[in-house]
Amino acid sequence: MSQTFTKAMARNIFYGGSVFFFLLFLALTFDTNSALPERDNRGAITEEVARGKAVWEENNCIGCHTLLGEGAYFAPELGNVYTRFGNSTEAIKGFIQSRPKEGVPGRRSMPQFNLSEEDLNAVAEFLKYSSEINTANWPPNIQG
């Protein structure tokens, strides 16, 4: 780089640019936080949904599935599983309960987690809540 562009100038761009864009990021974050109540379906977060999120986390569901497109890519997207299963929490519970303990020969199979009735209800309610978040029409179709 030429002599007219000095190290001091480069340093100032680094500090000035980083601080400016971090502050801009904070401002956008502030705005996002005030816009979220309209979008994030927080009214639906009951104690049961909160418990469902804990069940989701404590069984590491994200280790195979994606939720709103984030996670592992080994098993189906679950952000819209409630709608994919015909708007039915019962269908979700039935699927989780039905998984064979020893798996399916040669194929991927979800483990049998032996969830209690309360935990099953909770995780199904959590997935219902997730499906009703405004995700700008993502995923593109029902297959997730």
Partner 1 sequence: MKYQSQAVAKPYFVAAIGLFVGQILFGVILGLQYVIGDFLFPEIPFNVARMVHTNLLIVWLLFGFMGASYYLVPEESETELFSPKLALITFWVFLVAGALTVLGYLLVPYATLAEMTGNSLLPTMGREFLEQPTITKIGIVIVALAFIFNIGMTVLKGRKTVVSLVLLIGLVGLAVFFLFSFYNPDNLVLDKYYWWWVVHLWVEGVWELILGSILAFVLIKTTGVDREVIEKWLYVIIALALITGIIGTGHHYYWIGAPEYWQWWGSIFSALEPLPFFMMTVFAFNMVNRRRRNHPNQAAVLWALGTAVMAFLGAGVWGFMHTLAPINYYTHGTQITAAHGHMAFYGAYVMIVLTMISYAMPMLRGRDAANSGMSQVVEMWSFWLMTVSMVFITLFLTGAGVLQTYLQRYTDDPMPFMVVQEKIEIFYWMREVAGVVFLLGLFVYIASFFIGGKEPEEA
Residues 80-99 within binding reach of partner 1 (CB under 8 A):
none
Q: Least distance (Å) from partner 1 to the CB of residue 8?
A: 9
Q: Which of residues 6-45 bind partner 1 (CB under 8 A)?
A: 6-7, 10-11, 13-14, 17-18, 21-22, 24-25, 28-29, 31-32, 35-36, 39-42, 45
Query: Of the two residues 42 and 90, which places its CB atom closer to partner 1 in the complex?
Result: 42
Rounded CA separation 77/70 (Å) = 9
Query: Of the two residues 67 and 91, which places its CB atom closer to partner 1 in the complex?
Result: 67
Rounded CA separation 107/93 (Å) = 21
Own/partner pairs, 110-117, CB within 8 angstroms, 24+ separation: 110/64, 110/75, 113/59, 115/55, 115/59
Q: Any bridge partners for residue 104, and if so which?
A: 107
Q: Which of residues 39-68 bind partner 1 (CB under 8 A)?
A: 39-42, 45, 49-50, 53-54, 56-64, 66-68
Does 125 bind partner 1 (CB under 8 A)? Our answer is: no
- 142 half-sphere exposure, CB direction, 13 A CA radius: 6
